[in-house]
Amino acid sequence: MSVAAIIVAAGSSSRLGEPKQLILIDGEPLLQRAIRCATEAGASPVFVVLGAHRDLIENSIDFNKTKIVVNNEWEEGLSSSIRTGVKTAQAEAPTAEGLLLMTCDQPRVTAEHLHRLILMSYAQSAPTAIVSTYGGTRGIPAIFPRQAVCDLMGLHGDKGARALLAKPPWPVISIPLAGGEIDIDSPEDLEDLKS
């Protein structure tokens, strides 16, 4: 059994004013950190969905253990990147039993947390979503079973997969992620993180 990772990193970071993918946390760009965590956790293959600032990001990040996927419709919002990543994973990793969906702007995500999600996914005998919980809600990083592909492909607009986790058609197992609600969308978020 394998879990493929889809790291959504195609947004323009308009509120932040600079590509969040390249923001340094402890000397490591956020996107590089996400790639490292997914790889160390055992996800394979790892797909990275790029869109805005693609050339700059490609020249700044080591992608040698990943497959870059280009979302030319990134301006539609998060759902277009999810669909792009899922479509590619279906074509290039058809035997993956689960899809680990994550972004690059959650600095509290660790390889250990992702590994716990993956191990819990492996332990299930029926299609089950393994999700992170924080701030009183379910969210990503989350592993969706192969049976969720149609639901993920049906997302539209600037929203992610959280809506699918509210009333999912499959069982859900939640694993707490301390600080998972912290993401970097604005200069204030970045200042709060650094302080």
3-state secondary structure 28-76: EEHHHHHHHHHHHHCCCCEEEEEECEHHHHHCCCCCCCCEEEECCCHHH
10 Å Cβ neighbour count for 166? Answer: 9
pLDDT in tens, 33-51: 999 999 999 999 999 999 9
For the chain, domains (ranges, CATH) are 3-194 (3.90.550.10)
Of residues 2 and 190, which shows the higher confidence score?
2
**Average pLDDT, rounded, for the chain:** 91
CA distance 121 to 99: 10
Percent of the chain with pLDDT over 90: 70
pLDDT-derived band of residue 181, with 50, 70 and 90 as boundaries?
confident
Tens digit of each residue's pLDDT (9 = 90 or more) over 107-118:
999 999 999 999
Nearest to 166 by CA among 122, 145, 136: 136
| Strand-pair category, 129-134 with 137-145 | antiparallel
